[in-house]
């Protein structure tokens, strides 16, 4: 008799299976599978009793007292607010500032090459370039390993990608931080690549630990469809070049960002 | 059953009115929403973050974000579900941020120390109280550790599914992924928790499970 897999039993327990009746029938006649389901159930029942500290009936009032001084005068109206007349005035003013900055930039003299322009912003930029370069290198390795994962041996129906998944999960945290920093610094090109990378890493992190060759192929196709491996390589290489350049001669703050955005 | 539904509908209507009044500029109307939903948000946040301080921060931040983005809230009738989703998303960010900070702080010697711990020393015994009480404390500690070992997505999926009874679609929306990926994440979290806790749960849990009935009820019926 073929026993049920752990995944099938969890699916049955969670009510997330299309074969509910067949599994129920199997469980009536198979003591081994029933015992296995009992063991899963035992762990979940124990977790039912995991305590949550009590918050008294006054808790809601306490939360209000904490947040009330931090609330803005009016609640945000989301997208509806964009159609309010005062918002259009603000947008117009902002656009004027951007145009003025652009025109001023065209007319002002560029700094002499090699002039001592090192600043806190520049040092920060260098650290970011170094860290993101390293992060992209690690991400490239995970994606490469998945793209080149060996096909299963004879008799093996699934491939374990749990190691790559763990690394993808770890990379997700740092990726998000770097993406937010790049967005904040106005580095649109880097932010865009990191955003795409985040989606692929999420896909990998949310796949099953053991995948069939067909599932692995789907993951590969997703990586290829985004062209992310190529983009990661290009940006990673460019960051490395930047790092070498900035180490030998300091560039103006934000220069590499502008170049990358142009590209 | 009908009474419960009527109470829920009344609460939703009351929420909808409070949202409209807040949007109309009555800041104090938001107070009712905060007082009504704080407990539920705290339970979710505590289970996700695993500590009271972080959970309280998540609750406050969730309400602040809800207030700032109240205009984006389309369906006026389900403020609770919307705030719940904001809290879950913020808790994920908080967990990821904390995990990165912890990873940076944790020294290799601490890791080696943890690995050297003999699991047999932590195995529960069958003796009655007060040892039983100690065992419960130990089991709770193991649960906390096992939950901490889950990735932030897995922990979110497990908390939403197991304790909050959320549908897979709702979990997928919070994790910003497909329903099939969300389902896999739920399955994987159960597998990991099982591996970590089975040695400590043992026969006691199995008996409890049997007493609860052989055929488990499908989950995810409430939203």
Instruction: Indicate whether A212 pLDDT > 90.
Output: no
Preceding omega of B85 cis (within 30 degrees of 0) = no
Q: Cβ B205–A74 below 8 Å, yes or no?
A: no
| Segment B36-45 mean pLDDT | 94
Q: Which residue of B has its CA nearest to A38?
A: B206
pLDDT category at A86 given cuts 50, 70, 90 is very low
Instruction: Indicate whether B50 pLDDT > 50.
Output: yes
* pLDDT given at position B88: 93
Instruction: Indicate whether A19 pLDDT > 80.
Output: yes
Mutate to test the interface with B, among A23, A175, A206 (most CBs of B within 10 A): A206
ipTM: 0.74
pTM across the whole model = 0.55
Question: Does residue B170 contact residue B159 with C-beta atoms inside 8 Å?
Answer: no
CA distances from A113 to A108, A117, A123, B12 (A): 15, 10, 18, 65
Mutate to test the interface with A, among B21, B54, B218 (most CBs of A within 10 A): B218
CB-nearest to B188 from A51, A71, A208 is: A208
Q: How far apart are CA B163 and CA B140, in angstroms?
A: 16
CB proximity under 8 Å: A 5-44 to B? 6-7, 10-16, 20, 24, 27, 34, 37-44
> In chain A, helix, strand, coil percent, each to 5?
70, 0, 25
Q: Render A11-78 in DSSP notation, one character per residue.
A: HHHTT--S-HHHHHHHHHH-HHHHHHHHHHHHHHHHHHT-------TTHHHHHHHHHGGGS-SS---G
Tell me if chain B has a CB within 8 Å of the CB of A206. yes
Distance (Å) from the C-alpha of residue B117 to the closest C-alpha of chain A?
22
Count Cα atoms within 13 angstroms, Cβ side, for A133. 14
Q: Which residues contact B111 (CB under 8 A, 6 or more apart)?
A: none
Burial A36-55 (b: 16+ CB within 10 A, else e): bbbbbbbbbbbbeebeeeeb
* pLDDT given at position B37: 94
**Chain B contacts of A52, Cβ < 8 Å?**
42-43, 46-47
**Chain B contacts of A80, Cβ < 8 Å?**
71
**Chain A contacts of B143, Cβ < 8 Å?**
46-47, 50
Distance (Å) from the C-alpha of residue B102 to the closest C-alpha of chain A?
12
Mutate to test the interface with A, among B18, B76, B201, B221 (most CBs of A within 10 A): B201
Q: Which residue of A has its CA nearest to B23?
A: A75
CB proximity under 8 Å: A 93-132 to B? none
**pLDDT of B136-191, one tens digit each?**
788 888 999 999 999 989 999 999 999 988 999 999 988 888 999 999 999 999 99
Phi, psi of B126, deg, nearest 5: -100, 10
Mutate to test the interface with A, among B187, B220, B221 (most CBs of A within 10 A): B187
| Segment B96-106 mean pLDDT | 75
Mean pLDDT of all residues belonging to chain A: 74
* pLDDT given at position A241: 76
CA distances from B15 to B28, B43, B56, B144, B198 (A): 13, 20, 22, 35, 43
Q: How far apart are CA B79 and CA B168, in angstroms?
A: 20
CB-nearest to A66 from B60, B72, B97 is: B60
CA distances from A144 to A81, A137, A148, A228, A229 (A): 45, 10, 6, 11, 8
Window from A53-67, A247-261, B53-67 with minimum mean pLDDT: A247-261
Start-to-end C-alpha separation, chain B: 16
Distance (Å) from the C-alpha of residue A76 to the closest C-alpha of chain B?
4
Q: How far apart are CA A46 and CA A244, in angstroms?
A: 56
Classify B128 in phi/psi space as left (phi over 0), alpha (psi -120 to 50) or beta: beta
Count Cα atoms within 13 angstroms, Cβ side, for A260. 25
Q: Cβ A41–B206 below 8 Å, yes or no?
A: yes
Q: Which residue of A has its CA nearest to B26?
A: A74
Q: Cβ B153–A205 below 8 Å, yes or no?
A: yes
Q: Cβ A6–B220 below 8 Å, yes or no?
A: no
Instruction: Indicate whether A101 pLDDT > 60.
Output: no
- Tally C-beta pairs within 8 A across A and B: 193
Q: How far apart are CA A192 and CA A172, in angstroms?
A: 15
**pLDDT of A102-142, one tens digit each?**
555 555 545 555 555 556 666 666 777 778 888 888 888 88
Q: Cβ B184–A206 below 8 Å, yes or no?
A: yes
Q: Cβ A64–B219 below 8 Å, yes or no?
A: no
Q: How far apart are CA B25 and CA B21, in angstroms?
A: 7
Distance (Å) from the C-alpha of residue B1 to the closest C-alpha of chain A?
23
Q: How far apart are CA A99 and CA A107, in angstroms?
A: 13
Classify A17 in phi/psi space as left (phi over 0), alpha (psi -120 to 50) or beta: beta
**Chain B contacts of A170, Cβ < 8 Å?**
103
Phi, psi of B84, deg, nearest 5: -60, -40
């Amino acid at each position: 008799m073929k026993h049920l897999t752990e995944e099938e039993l969890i699916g049955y327990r969670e009510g997330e299976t299309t074969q509910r009746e067949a599994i129920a029938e199997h469980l009536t006649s198979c003591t081994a599978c029933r015992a296995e389901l009992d063991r899963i159930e035992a762990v979940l029942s124990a977790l039912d009793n995991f305590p949550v500290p009590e918050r008294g009936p006054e808790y809601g009032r306490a939360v209000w007292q904490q947040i009330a001084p931090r609330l803005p005068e009016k609640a945000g109206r989301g997208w509806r607010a964009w159609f309010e007349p005062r918002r259009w005035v603000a947008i117009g003013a902002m656009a004027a500032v951007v145009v003025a900055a652009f025109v001023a930039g065209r007319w002002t003299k560029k700094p002499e090459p090699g002039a001592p322009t090192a600043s806190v912003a520049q040092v920060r930029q260098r650290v970011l370039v170094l860290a993101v370069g390293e992060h992209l290198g690690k991400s490239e390795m995970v994606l490469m390993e998945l793209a080149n994962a060996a096909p299963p041996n004879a008799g093996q129906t699934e491939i374990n990608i749990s190691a790559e998944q763990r690394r993808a999960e770890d990379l997700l945290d740092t990726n998000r931080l770097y993406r937010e920093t790049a967005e904040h610094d106005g580095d649109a090109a880097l932010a865009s690549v990191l955003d795409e990378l985040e989606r692929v890493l999420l896909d990998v992190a949310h796949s099953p630990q053991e995948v069939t060759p067909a599932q692995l192929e789907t993951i590969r196709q997703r990586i290829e469809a985004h062209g992310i491996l190529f983009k990661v390589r290009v940006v990673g290489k460019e960051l490395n070049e930047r790092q070498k350049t900035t180490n030998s001669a300091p560039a103006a703050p934000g220069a590499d960002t502008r170049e990358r955005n142009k590209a | 059953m009908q009474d419960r539904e009527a109470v829920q509908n009344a609460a939703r209507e009351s929420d909808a009115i409070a949202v409209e009044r807040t949007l109309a500029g009555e800041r104090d109307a938001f107070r009712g929403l905060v007082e009504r939903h704080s407990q539920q948000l705290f339970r979710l946040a505590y289970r996700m973050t695993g500590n009271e301080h972080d959970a309280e921060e998540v609750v406050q931040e969730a309400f602040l974000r809800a207030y700032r983005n109240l205009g984006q809230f389309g369906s006026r009738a389900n403020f609770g579900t919307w705030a719940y989703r904001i809290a879950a998303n913020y808790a994920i960010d908080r967990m990821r941020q904390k995990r990165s900070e912890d990873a940076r702080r944790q020294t290799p010697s601490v890791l080696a120390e943890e690995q050297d711990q003999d699991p047999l020393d932590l195995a529960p015994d069958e003796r009655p109280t007060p040892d039983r009480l100690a065992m419960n404390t130990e089991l709770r500690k193991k649960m906390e550790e096992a939950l901490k070992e889950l990735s932030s997505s897995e922990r979110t999926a497990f908390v939403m599914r197991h304790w909050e009874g959320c549908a897979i679609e709702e979990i997928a929306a919070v994790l910003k992924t497909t329903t099939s990926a969300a389902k896999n994440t739920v399955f994987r979290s159960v597998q990991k928790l099982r591996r970590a806790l089975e040695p400590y749960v043992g026969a006691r849990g199995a008996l409890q499970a049997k007493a609860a009935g052989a055929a488990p009820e499908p989950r995810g019926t409430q939203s």
